[in-house]
Amino acid sequence: MSTATQAPRKPRIALMGEFSAGKSTLSNLLMGSRPLPEKVTATRLSPVWMSHGTHAPFSVDVEGNTQEVSLDHLEDIPVEETMCIRLFLECDILDVCDLIDFPGISDPNMSSEVWERMLPEVDAVIWLTHATQAWRQSEAAVWDAMPDAVRENSTLLITRFDKLTTEKDRLRVFKRVKRETQGQFAATFPISLLQALEAGEDYDLWDASGAGPFVEHLIEAIDKLSKLAARTELPLYNIPNGTPVPQPVSAPVAPRRVKRPLNDDAPKRERPTAEQAQAAGLPPGSGGSTS
């Protein structure tokens, strides 16, 4: 239980999407000079929950038992019985939020239960979709079943944008994805994570990769989520549709380093039905149910 003297909990942002969409590459990018160990990106793992600190890594099984783990042997952790792997790193982004790197949603070798059971821990999602096969039906089905409180605070990244070679293609894909996801994300950005990684200190390249505008948005989104998280002990995933999301604490007006309007042109969406939630295989209560 949180008390008045405890620091408010940090918002938890999940990185989700299809296999190989760039989730782990993005978490490396966001963590800057403290990239994840190679094993964490190369191996098929349970959700990896990253927080700020120096604590030794451990795993949490589905019954809540914890066990210290070695970063050199992450591949030995049984995926089906493991709720998540907890990693602690000292980097700026983890000062302001926790990141949870999810496995791909349609991995044929992994039950969707492996990541579905982590959803109640989540406040918001950065959803990564491959530019060359963007917003597949499998993605739309999972997203349809996501509670509104999460969707309204989430961001869509169209990754591997460098794989689209003509301006015409880039525009076509961006417009289609925007149309098909209208009202379902706070904002959408095309991005080349590889170009962003390679940009180094070159701000023009950083902006051109798409990372510049995305990170500006992310800073604002985390700011809003921090205020929400301070008001709700349970992550936003647990707020049923139709129930008001606690209003962020209104902060005193302070000069902002980054000022960029959010992409809020999206109209409110319809609530997903309980059937849709069920069709996506999500736990009861995650769809249209208000209980």
Residue ranges in contact with ligand GTP by CB under 6 A: 17, 19-25, 41, 103-104, 159-160, 162-163, 192-194
Which partner from the list Mg ion, ligand GTP, none does 235 bind, CB cut-off 5 to 8 Å by kind? none
Which partner from the list Mg ion, ligand GTP, none does 280 bind, CB cut-off 5 to 8 Å by kind? none
Q: Which stretch binds Mg ion (CB under 5 A): 21-29, 63-71, 117-125, 224-232?
A: 21-29
Taking the least distance from each CB to Mg ion, the nearer of 13 and 239 is 13
Which partner from the list ligand GTP, Mg ion, none does 194 bind, CB cut-off 5 to 8 Å by kind? ligand GTP
Which partner from the list Mg ion, ligand GTP, none does 160 bind, CB cut-off 5 to 8 Å by kind? ligand GTP
Minimal distance in Å, beta carbon 24 to ligand GTP? Answer: 3
Minimal distance in Å, beta carbon 290 to ligand GTP? Answer: 33
Q: Which of 24, 129, 154, 192 binds Mg ion (CB under 5 A)?
A: 24
Taking the least distance from each CB to ligand GTP, the nearer of 59 and 241 is 59
Secondary structure of the chain in HEC code, one letter for each residue: CCCCCCCCCCCEEEEEECCCCCHHHHHHHHHCCCCCCHHHHHCCCCCEEEEECCCCCEEEECCCCEEECCHHHHHHCCCCCEEEEEEEECCHHHHHCEEEECCCCCCCCCCCHHHHCCHHHCCEEEEEEEHHHCCCHHHHHHHHCCCHHHHCCCEEEEECHHHCCCHHHHHHHHHHHHHHCCCCCCEEEECCHHHHHHHCCCHHHHHHCCHHHHHHHHHHHHHHHHHHHCCCCCCHHHCCCCCCCCCCCCCCCCCCCCCCCCCCCCCCCCCCCHHHHHHCCCCCCCCCCCC
Binding residues for Mg ion, per CB under 5 A?
Answer: 23-24
